[in-house]
Amino acid sequence: MSDRLIWDRRMGASMRNRWHVLALLFGVRVAMAFQFQAIAALSPLIMSQFKVGIADIGLLIGLYLSPGILLAVPGGAIGRRFGEKSVVLAGLLLMTAGGLVTATSGSWELEEAARLAAGIGGVMLNVLMTKMVADWFAGKEIASAMGIFVNSWPVGIALALLVLPGFAQATSLNVAMLAVSGFAALALVAFAVGYRAPAHIESANPVKTPLRGAILAAVICAGLIWGLYNAALGMIFGFAPAMLAERGWSATAASSATSIVLWLVAISVPLGGILADRLKRGEAVLLAGLVVFGVMLAYAARTEAVYLSFALVGLVAGIPAGPIMSLPTKVLPPEKRAVGMGIFYTLFYLLVVLAPIAAGYLADILGRTSITFDLGVAMLAVSVMLMIAYKRLVKILRENRGTYVSMTFRRA
């Protein structure tokens, strides 16, 4: 057999392995999104069974994401210390156990503690599995891979909204919550059996020197961009129903119109990653996506053509996601990715937790919910400025020949 044929076969096997791993990581993160959305999807039944109000439901939802503010950076370091696969499995175990307590507890305090424990597990997944995608795809269609991986979140949310309410009505709230925990347990088994690190990562020696200088600044810019982008997207899902209700829409019609954005974002997220990789212009796709998203968001806040404007928002809002997620991988060498992604996700969690609170207060002060969309536009404008700063930092890193900069960025 010729050397060329052997090489082609090895390359083909490597490509298949990468996409198999991505499919596994996608499915595991769908389980996380499914668990996150379960509270909102089942909120009427939860409020009835525990005799709580909408503010308590909001707290239960927020508890799932809040650990990320404190644990994202340590999560990366813990993964480096104890092994990334082991820590992800521990995270899935926390999700499973938290789900079981949620399904069987009769105490609201236990419900809160279980939700917090499950959220801690979710933080470990988010930080380390993103790093795993980077390990497998850095320099190889990274924006497409990240776009597909990120899309697991809206898919899991949509699946929970589609399946859980009807299932709970046909059985019970407790049985539905058990199903959520079972999904996490299934993800645990699949990950335990199916995941392995790529060979070049298994043989890499981690370094203990902290991130500093232009690399740290570039990762901070990337994390802020990701957080602001998601916070702007959250303005739609968090406040569009209330904005439409102010215009006289019923709650059902307002939620239905808002869901259009979710379904179309699920299409535009992978599309943005594919465009970035195929065109070899990741920066241009990212910046264009942010700008057009901002324009459409401003339009949606002011027009009576709600269905059209929301459809346009959904079609463009997901385009920057994959290219943004690839930003830290372009400046972080493999041995520093776990800690770097921890910093990246800390900023993300901080912004997505604080932004809705600030938006709600602003809407109350000004007396109109549409201001939350304008706040989202401002966030996207800041993201554009941060992207310009990121590009300058990468230019500095490229001029320093001793510093790692991904070949995918050079092609972009």
Q: Report domain extents, the chain.
A: 1-196, 210-412
**Helix (H) / strand (E) containing 250:** none
Higher-scoring residue by pLDDT: 257, 177 = 177
Count of C-beta atoms within a 10 Å radius of residue 13: 10
pLDDT in tens, 363-400: 888 888 899 999 999 999 999 999 999 999 998 888 77
State how far the Cα of 134 lies from the Cα of 128, in Å rounded to an integer: 10
pLDDT in tens, 104-143: 988 999 999 999 999 999 999 988 999 899 889 877 788 8
Helices (H), 195-250: 199-202, 213-246
* Residue-level pLDDT at 223: 96
Structure-token match 């230019």, residue found? 395
The amino acid at residue 367 is G
State how far the Cα of 217 lies from the Cα of 375, in Å rounded to an integer: 25
Residue 152 in tokens: 């697991």
**pLDDT exceeds cutoff 90 at 266:** no
CA proximity to 316, closest of 264, 263, 394:
264
* Residue-level pLDDT at 31: 96
State how far the Cα of 132 lies from the Cα of 368, in Å rounded to an integer: 43
CA proximity to 272, closest of 388, 151, 410, 406:
151
**pLDDT exceeds cutoff 70 at 406:** no
Count of C-beta atoms within a 10 Å radius of residue 81: 13
Residue 275 in tokens: 């465009």
Q: For all residues of the chain together, what is the average pLDDT?
A: 86
Averaged pLDDT for residues 267-273: 90
Higher-scoring residue by pLDDT: 119, 335 = 119
Averaged pLDDT for residues 187-215: 77
Is-contact 87 34, C-beta < 8 A? no
Instruction: Evaluate the CA torsion angle 66, 130, 326, 20 in order and state its sign.
Output: negative
Per cent of the chain over pLDDT 70 is 90
pLDDT in tens, 55-74: 787 788 888 988 988 888 88
Count of C-beta atoms within a 10 Å radius of residue 187: 24
State the first-to-last Cα distance of the chain, in angstroms, to the nearest integer.
Answer: 36
Per cent of the chain over pLDDT 90 is 43
For 210-412, which CATH class?
A: mainly alpha
**pLDDT exceeds cutoff 80 at 405:** no
pLDDT in tens, 3-18: 444 434 444 445 678 8
Q: Output phi, psi for 403, to 5 deg.
A: -105, 140
For 1-196, which CATH class?
A: mainly alpha
Q: DSSP readout, 124-136?
A: HHHHHHHHHHHHH
State how far the Cα of 371 lies from the Cα of 64, in Å rounded to an integer: 27
State how far the Cα of 410 lies from the Cα of 164, in Å rounded to an integer: 45
How far from 182 is each of 61, 122, 258, 283, CA to CA, in Å? Answer: 19, 15, 29, 40
Q: Which residues lie below 8 Å from residue 345, measured CB to CB, with a gap of 6+? A: 68, 72, 75, 123, 126, 127, 130, 223
* Residue-level pLDDT at 209: 60
CA proximity to 340, closest of 235, 204, 220:
220
CA proximity to 409, closest of 329, 336, 317, 293:
329
User: How much is the pTM?
Assistant: 0.80
pLDDT in tens, 75-113: 877 888 888 999 999 999 999 999 999 999 889 999 999
pLDDT in tens, 222-240: 999 999 999 999 888 778 8
Is-contact 325 226, C-beta < 8 A? yes
- Chain center to CA of 359: 20
Same-fold call for 1-196 versus 210-412: yes
Averaged pLDDT for residues 288-315: 95
Q: What secondary structure letter does DSSP report for 354?
A: H
Q: Which residues lie below 8 Å from residue 48, measured CB to CB, with a gap of 6+? A: none
**pLDDT exceeds cutoff 90 at 176:** yes
CA proximity to 60, closest of 101, 27, 93:
101
Averaged pLDDT for residues 284-305: 95
* Residue-level pLDDT at 282: 81
* Residue-level pLDDT at 401: 57
